[in-house]
Structure 1
Amino acid sequence: METPRDDPRFLRSREAIGGAARALLLAHGPGAITHARVAEHAGIARATVYRHWPRTDQLLAEAMATVPMPFFDAPGTPTRDWLVRELTALARQLDLHDVRVVATTLANAALWEEHMDARRAGFADLLTARLTEALEAAQARGEVELHAAPRDAAALAVGPLYYRATIERGTTDDATVAALVDHLGRWS
């Protein structure tokens, strides 16, 4: 027996919605992800978008999941400068209300929903791996003597940004980002 998720129409509409949400996100940012705009862009009824993703935060999380993560890709040297730039870019993204909503929603939903926990784990693993590799390489080149294991240093770098944005609902200024990086170890 064919379930709704196996129905080709269901799959086509879900694909159209995902493509429209991704296009809007890339072209106009997270604020563009609304049920009405996605439906219009996909050329389908708004009710269909709601049927697939009842809440806007879920729709935005889905759109964000389809966009390659730009952070911490292709580390540069000196690593300290690269890390400050990347963490500053991440902090600026977390300044955006919609990104805060997605980050908070993802963390919350991951506690009860298996697919959201898988998405959270995938994002965390990718972010941790990229940072850990960059810090390990910097340490091997003698650029830094880390105060913690590279994996823990990665958490120490990103954790305060997330805390400031989601728990305090504040912003992280450039001086704080630089201080975070400096506290990770002794930079040469």
Structure 2
Amino acid sequence: MTDDPDPRFLRSRQAMLDAARELLLAHGPGAVTHHRIAEHAGIGRATVYRHWPQPEQLLAEAMATVPLPFFEAPASPFRPWLAGEFTSLARELELDEVRAVATTLANAALWNPGMDARRAGFAGVLSRRLAAALTAAEQAGELSLRGEPSDAAALAIGPLYYRATIERAPADAALIERCVDAVGVWTSR
């Protein structure tokens, strides 16, 4: 007997994850159901249930397949780069499907340890990337941090998330600039 998974198992699992991701991005978390995944992937519903007995397991895994492109490639001068990253993040959060995923993840994390682990993973990635970029900006002499780099995500991304999810309004250029300024004192504009 071999430890290698059956190729059919892997193919069907990948087809279901692809379908889940497509439905999630196109229609939000409510679309990620066993029935819709099976229909979209052309697979029997029982097969979806075999892979993910609980709907929240399916949603969690689908959410994990969505890329997180923010703060990946810092560039000097850092201030305009950071303003561009915050603008991109704000525009993504204005999309209903992204807002739905973000709020679903935050809500489900309160009661589900698996979802909380995913939330912590996403938050950790954003926080580490942003902290590394700000540390590089400080080392380059472009920025004097106001506090710990690890607090920057809460200080700067928090207002964008609040504006998009609680107020359901777009972040304007003035709010983006205040978020950029929240992390420290910039040596040039």
TM (norm. structure 2) is: 0.79
User: 1:137 deviation in Å?
Assistant: 0.7
Query: What is residue 118 of structure 1 aligned with on the other side?
Result: 117
1:132-162 Cα offsets, whole Å, 9 max, x none, are 0000110111101121211112221111111
User: 1:53 deviation in Å?
Assistant: 7.6
Equivalent pair of 1:164/1:170 in contact (CA under 8 Å)? yes
Identify which of 23, 30, 49 aligns with 2:26. 30
Matching residue's letter, 1:149 = E
**Pair 58,176 (structure 1): closer, same or farther in 2 beyond 3 Å:** farther
Question: 1:99 & 1:49 partners in 2: Cα distance?
Answer: 24
Equivalent pair of 1:61/1:102 in contact (CA under 8 Å)? no
Q: Secondary structure at the match of 1:75?
A: coil
Matching residue's letter, 1:31 = H
User: 1:167 deviation in Å?
Assistant: 1.9
Question: 1:8 & 1:114 partners in 2: Cα distance?
Answer: 30
Where do residues 7-22 of structure 1 align in structure 2 (5 Å cutoff)? 13-22=12-21
Where do residues 150-165 of structure 1 align in structure 2 (5 Å cutoff)? 150-165=149-164
User: 1:59 deviation in Å?
Assistant: 5.3
Query: What is residue 177 of structure 1 aligned with on the other side?
Result: 176
Equivalent pair of 1:132/1:151 in contact (CA under 8 Å)? yes
Matching residue's letter, 1:120 = R
Query: What is residue 63 of structure 1 aligned with on the other side?
Result: 62
Query: What is residue 88 of structure 2 aligned with on the other side?
Result: 89
User: 1:81 deviation in Å?
Assistant: 0.7
Equivalent pair of 2:92/2:98 in contact (CA under 8 Å)? yes
Question: 2:45 & 2:172 partners in 1: Cα distance?
Answer: 39
Equivalent pair of 1:146/1:153 in contact (CA under 8 Å)? no
Q: Secondary structure at the match of 1:112?
A: coil
Question: 1:50 & 1:177 partners in 2: Cα distance?
Answer: 43
TM (norm. structure 1) is: 0.79
User: 1:92 deviation in Å?
Assistant: 0.6
Matching residue's letter, 2:26 = P
Structure 1 stretch 57-66 or stretch 166-175: which is displaced more?
57-66
Equivalent pair of 1:60/1:102 in contact (CA under 8 Å)? no
Structure 1 stretch 83-92 or stretch 164-173: which is displaced more?
164-173
1:74-123 Cα offsets, whole Å, 9 max, x none, are 11111111111111111111101121111111111111111101101110
Matching residue's letter, 2:141 = G
Q: Which runs of 5+ in 2 are unaligned?
A: none
